Structures are given as C-alpha cells and as structure tokens.
Amino acid sequence: MPSQITHPVEDRIARIMTAYAEHPEGSVPTKAQWDMLAGLPDTATVALINHFRFRERAVYPDGRATELNGHEAFGLYTAVSGDALTRAGGHFLMMSLPAGTLIGDDAQWDLVAIGQYQNPQGIFAIFEDPEYRDCFIHRTAALAAQRVSLCTM
C-alpha cells in the first residue's frame, strides 16, 4: 500500500481552514486564496488592503445574543488583532475613515486599513495565532461586507 505524502504547506492550510470553519464563506480566505498566498516568494513583502463595512447590529456566527453594533464588535477584534499583527512581524501602514471614492463605483466603506507583513508567512502566522483566532469571531460579527486585497512589494 503506497504511503500518502502530504505537503507541509497543505497541512498548514488545512489546519487554518479547520480552525476558522465556523466563520461564514467570504469572511476568511478560501482554499484557492490560501494556495495563491502560499505560492508567493518568501522574500515578497506583502500588504493587505482592507475595506470594511459595519453591521448596524453585530451578528455572531455562534448565535450568541448581543446588543453590540458592528463598530463596537469590531473594537473587540481590534483590541487583540493589533498585537497579533505585531507578533506576526507586521504593522499597520494606515487605518482611516475613507474620505470618498475618487474613481470607480461609490462603494460605502466605514473603515480602510492597510497592514504590511515582512513576507507571506506573516499572514499565515497571524491566522495561526490563538489569541487572533479567538478574537476573529468579533470581526465576523461586526462586518456586513469586506474586501481584502493582497499586494506584493
């Protein structure tokens, strides 16, 4: 019987996806998106450009009752995620309320944040961080919509 050989990156992706399985589609990277990230050179500096729109009332995927609005739930997430970003070797380049749309569709975003990582491994590391994983539920509850673009530098 041939032995089954697995690739360490594939195992890492599978562990992350299992850890975040309770979060709805569109709130975490898909397998294809993780594969794309894993395919980047380890020498590439990467940035995530995050566009966030908050819910009027937070909705937790585990069904818990809450009186929090989306902005308040997101505050619970950011109270932990900034330190996790630092532990993963990253930092914020910018976090701001959008001033408006200059070109393109007038999408309504409540917050834009740009985080930079030394390399793609930093993004894997933040998703593997236990404190980040525990606070991520607040991000999911907070957001009505999000768009996260990956850029390499």
CB of 45 closer than 8 Å to CB of 153: yes
Report whether pLDDT(1) > 70.
no
pLDDT of residue 4: 58
| Dihedral, 99, 101, 103, 108 alpha carbons, nearest 10 | 150
Give the model confidence (pLDDT) of 18-56 as tens digits: 999 999 999 999 999 999 999 999 999 999 999 999 999
Report whether pLDDT(152) > 90.
yes
Report whether pLDDT(148) > 70.
yes
CB of 122 closer than 8 Å to CB of 63: no
Going from the N-terminus, what domains does the chain have, and what CATH number goes with each? 8-152 (3.30.70.100)
pLDDT of residue 42: 95
pLDDT of residue 5: 56
Give the model confidence (pLDDT) of 61-81 as tens digits: 999 999 999 999 999 999 999
Both tokens assigned to 126: 């933040």
pLDDT of residue 32: 97
pLDDT of residue 106: 84
Query: 76-85: which pairs have CB atoms within 8 A and are 24 or more residues apart?
Result: 76/135, 76/138, 77/135, 77/136, 77/138, 77/139, 77/142, 79/135, 80/131, 80/132, 80/134, 80/135, 81/126, 81/132, 81/135, 81/139, 83/131, 84/126, 84/129, 84/131, 84/132, 84/135, 85/115, 85/126
Give the model confidence (pLDDT) of 101-147 as tens digits: 999 988 899 999 999 999 999 999 999 999 999 999 999 999 999 99
Q: Are strands 143-152 and 46-54 parallel, antiparallel or unpaired?
A: antiparallel
